């Protein structure tokens, strides 16, 4: 049987979270900004009502006020968005046991085995959209296709608050008329090269042989474009009983300058990963920290433990040492991610690892002291980032 992949992309996620929380904000132009009362504040997310005024991410607050004087400005609360994102993922797991979290507002569900429980793909998709909207107040767009990449492209066509399914076998009909930029991974530079060659649509890419694409774009990227343009996933997401990695990442709509703003978010991402790790009764031997800098250079830093672990107080010092390495490159930051890999099932007795909250806090507090000594006072704020939830 062919796989069926459902992609969920939350619409204007940060702005929607604020509108869901404050009923009086619904239906109004609203923007989430980095700083409300500073000329240096910029838009990190804008509601679709605000987009109608020509407001978009990255726009300075002053310009936003000029374009729409009655706009609602809300300061961004990224920890809250990470938290809501986690809740969304929990709810998505009701529709398939195989949920892959791609970013703070995007997930992929392999629904091949679960679709029959809902009657049809359409019914499953509508139920999922209604659940997120009626129970959480969050709009989203859903795409279904036989590959990850085509489901993502379906979502792009159906935005906002939409649903589009590409039936198996109809992928090429769907892809053929779309502009080359519809392929995730084809940016303005590649588009420009295509246009110089007289290639504007995905269907026209098929006229180029693999060898030609490799000659134009280099061997690796050329191969990717060859596959993508035909709707094939290049990275196969194999599903075995044992997940290969647990990961979370956030892309900032606006590059972040200060590590003191970034570090608490990184800790939250790590906590989300280690929480999932413990829920799955697993341990990890390796932690990876990923950073994409403003110049689009992506670096990963990793640390391997002598033996697998599931304790935050093992992961945190390791993560901080990786962050220190990432800081050495003095660029603004676009994206951060945390990944746990080399996973194994936990073999010790469960009473040992499901520590009480008190025991866990004690361990955490002890490790905070160690960190304070090692990294100085600037990491103290991390304690408050940790203390609030759970
Ligand atoms: Mg989105």
**Tens-digit pLDDT profile for residues 276-286:** 888 777 889 99
- Residue 247 alpha carbon to ligand 1 centre in Å: 18
Catalytically annotated residues: 106
Q: How confident is the model at residue 239 (pLDDT cuts 50, 70, 90)?
A: very low
The mean-pLDDT minimum among 16-20, 91-95, 239-243, 348-352 falls in 348-352
- Residue 27 alpha carbon to ligand 1 centre in Å: 18
**Tens-digit pLDDT profile for residues 61-95:** 999 999 999 999 999 888 888 889 888 988 998 99
- Residue 157 alpha carbon to ligand 1 centre in Å: 13
Q: How confident is the model at residue 387 (pLDDT cuts 50, 70, 90)?
A: very low
Mean residue pLDDT of the chain comes to: 85
- Residue 10 alpha carbon to ligand 1 centre in Å: 4
- Residue 156 alpha carbon to ligand 1 centre in Å: 10
More confident residue, 343 or 31: 31
Q: How confident is the model at residue 42 (pLDDT cuts 50, 70, 90)?
A: confident
Q: Specify whether the CB–CB gap between 273 and 252 falls below 8 A.
A: no
- Domains and their CATH numbers in the chain: 1-167 (3.30.70.270), 176-228 (1.10.150.20), 245-387 (3.30.1490.100)
- Residue 159 alpha carbon to ligand 1 centre in Å: 9
**Tens-digit pLDDT profile for residues 164-174:** 999 999 999 99
Q: How confident is the model at residue 346 (pLDDT cuts 50, 70, 90)?
A: low
- Residue 53 alpha carbon to ligand 1 centre in Å: 19
Q: Specify whether the CB–CB gap between 270 and 311 falls below 8 A.
A: no
Peptide bond into 160 cis (omega under 30): yes
């Amino acid at each position: 049987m062919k796989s069926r992949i459902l992609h969920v992309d939350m619409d204007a996620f940060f702005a929607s979270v604020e509108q869901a929380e404050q009923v009086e904000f619904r239906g109004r132009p609203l923007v989430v900004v980095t700083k409300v009362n500073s000329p240096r504040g910029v838009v990190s997310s804008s509601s679709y009502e605000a987009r109608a005024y020509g407001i978009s991410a990255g726009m300075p607050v002053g310009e936003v006020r000029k374009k729409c004087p009655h706009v609602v400005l809300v300061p961004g609360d990224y920890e809250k968005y990470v938290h809501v994102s986690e809740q969304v993922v929990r709810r998505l797991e009701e529709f398939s046991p195989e949920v892959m979290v791609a970013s703070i507002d995007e997930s992929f569900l392999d629904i091949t085995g679960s679709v029959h429980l809902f009657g049809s793909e359409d019914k499953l998709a509508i139920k999922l959209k209604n659940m997120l909207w009626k129970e959480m107040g969050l709009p989203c767009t859903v795409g279904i296709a036989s590959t990850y990449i085509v489901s993502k492209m379906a979502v792009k066509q159906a935005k906002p608050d939409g649903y589009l399914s590409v039936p198996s076998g109809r992928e090429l009909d769907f892809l053929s008329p779309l502009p080359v930029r519809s392929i995730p991974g084809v940016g303005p530079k590649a588009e420009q090269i295509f246009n110089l060659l007289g290639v504007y649509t995905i269907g026209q890419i098929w006229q180029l042989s693999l060898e030609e694409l490799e000659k134009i774009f280099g061997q690796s990227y050329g191969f990717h474009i060859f596959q993508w343009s035909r709707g094939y996933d290049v990275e196969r997401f194999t599903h075995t009983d044992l997940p290969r990695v647990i990961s979370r990442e956030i892309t900032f709509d606006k590059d972040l300058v200060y590590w003191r703003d970034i570090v608490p978010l990184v800790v939250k991402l790590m906590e989300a990963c280690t929480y999932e790790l413990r829920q799955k009764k697993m341990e990890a031997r390796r932690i990876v920290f990923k950073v994409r800098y403003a110049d689009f250079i992506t670096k990963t830093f990793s640390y391997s433990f002598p033996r697998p672990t599931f304790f935050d107080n093992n992961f945190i010092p390791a993560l901080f040492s990786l962050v220190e390495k990432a800081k050495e490159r003095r660029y603004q930051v676009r994206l951060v991610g945390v990944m746990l890999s080399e996973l194994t099932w936990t073999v010790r007795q469960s009473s040992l690892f499901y520590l009480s909250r008190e025991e866990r806090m004690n361990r955490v507090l002890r490790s905070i002291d160690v960190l304070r000594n090692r990294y100085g006072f600037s990491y103290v704020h991390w304690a408050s980032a940790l203390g609030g939830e759970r």
